[in-house]
Amino acid sequence: MRRPGEKEEVTLRVCYEAGPTGYVLYRWLLTAGIACSVVAPSLIPKRAGDRVKTDKRDAIRLAQLYRAGELTPVYVPTPADESLRDLVRAREDAVEDLNRFKQRLGKFLLRHQLQDAKGAKPGTFAYEEWLDTLRFPEDSCKQMTFQEYRQSIWETKERIKRYEKQIEEQAALSEQAPVVQALQALRGVATVTAVTLSSEMMSSDRFHSASSFMSYCGLVSSEYSSGGSPLARPYYESRECASASGTGGSREKLPTRARDSQKNARPYRGAATGGSVDCLERAASITQEVLESGAKRKAQGLHRGRDCQRTGGVCMGDC
């Protein structure tokens, strides 16, 4: 019980979305004795129809969801793990830059219809020897462009080598060294690949099973189901209804809401029946006709060998 005049104790808890700001704020708040959580932006519940997005509204919404326990916190790496991950990602950026520079050089040669007469492929030693023989004495602008493209490729390759050397050194000194060594036991996994996996995984305790880790890496099959839109689903159902009746010409739409009873369903007017019948009843009657016809033909012995006759494209015998 709080005595009269006594101030109520307040426990301050803070959360913010994971993003480009990193985890410096998180560590600073923990040092100050304030509980903090970094939440996953993609797992924040969103209201249907809420299209107004401002910083004030987002902050209020985050506070409400955090108090209700509806937010999912992300794993916060240690400073050492984060540094190793930054090194690995910097190498990946250099590899992407190298691919871009190679493409630019290739497009430059393609624009001027230049190719090796011997058919050397890009990236081979013979191709590099052919590039060394290219000169543009009549045009200094082309010569400058060609030299800068090649120079950017050479510099990027040297940068990648420096990154890989540093990665190999850190692989033996970091806390992830046992994991890196274990991953290299797999076929085709060398130091760079093992360090990349361990730096992104950070801690195996984050995953309760192997399938969850594979899902995190994106190495599992996925499914994208758009569901039933209010315009496409009725038309699809009406086409199924028309094909079941044998007419194939009507686009009469059926109700999609589950609360609509069968008596409220729109009738399908089949040309073959000359009247108004429900689509489901029509499909059921056709199915019954096929079954009765198949049983009758089977009793007459028509489902034997070459005498097999099919009713409605369905063979109901044992042939």
d(CA 195, CA 165): 12
Distances (CA, A) of 113 to 61, 104, 117, 121, 138: 59, 14, 12, 15, 16
Q: At what angle do helices 191-201 and 140-173 cross, to 10 degrees?
A: 70
Q: Is 159 left (phi over 0), alpha (psi -120 to 50) or beta?
A: alpha
**What is the reported pLDDT for 30?**
93
The per-residue pLDDT for 1 is: 53
Contact 130, 120 (CB under 8 A): yes
Q: Which has more confidence, 296 or 41? A: 41
Q: If you average pLDDT over residues 203-222, what whole number do you get? A: 80
Helix orientation angle between 232-245 and 279-299, rounded to the nearest 10 degrees: 30
- Segment among 4-18, 26-40, 151-165 with least mean pLDDT: 4-18
* Tokens read off for 160: 């990648």
* Rounded-to-integer distance, Cα 151 and Cα 252, Å: 67
Select from 60, 79, 80, 77 the least CA-distant residue to 15.
Answer: 60
pLDDT on residue 285 = 66
At 215 the pLDDT is 81
The more confident residue out of 295 and 103 is: 103
Give the model's pLDDT for residue 88. 94
Q: Locate tokens 């009725």: which residue?
A: 234
pLDDT tens for 286-306 read 666 666 766 666 666 554 444
Q: Whole-model pTM? A: 0.62
Question: Is residue 150 a contact partner of residue 105, using CB atoms and an 8 Å limit?
Answer: yes
Terminal Cα-to-Cα distance of the chain (whole angstroms): 86
d(CA 71, CA 90): 31
Q: What pLDDT score was predicted for residue 301?
A: 59
Chain centroid to CA 217: 10
Domain edges within the chain: 13-68, 79-208, 232-293
Judged against a pLDDT cut of 50, whether residue 58 lies above it is answered with yes
- 256 or 91, higher pLDDT: 91
Cα separation of 44 and 24, whole Å?
22
Whether 248 shows a pLDDT value over 90: the answer reads: no
Contact 19, 41 (CB under 8 A): yes
- Tell the burial category of 193 from Cβ atoms under 10 Å away from its Cβ (0-12, 13-18, 19+): middle
Tokens encoding 40:
């996953």
The strand pair at 13-17 and 35-39 is best described as parallel
Beta bridge partners of 36: 14
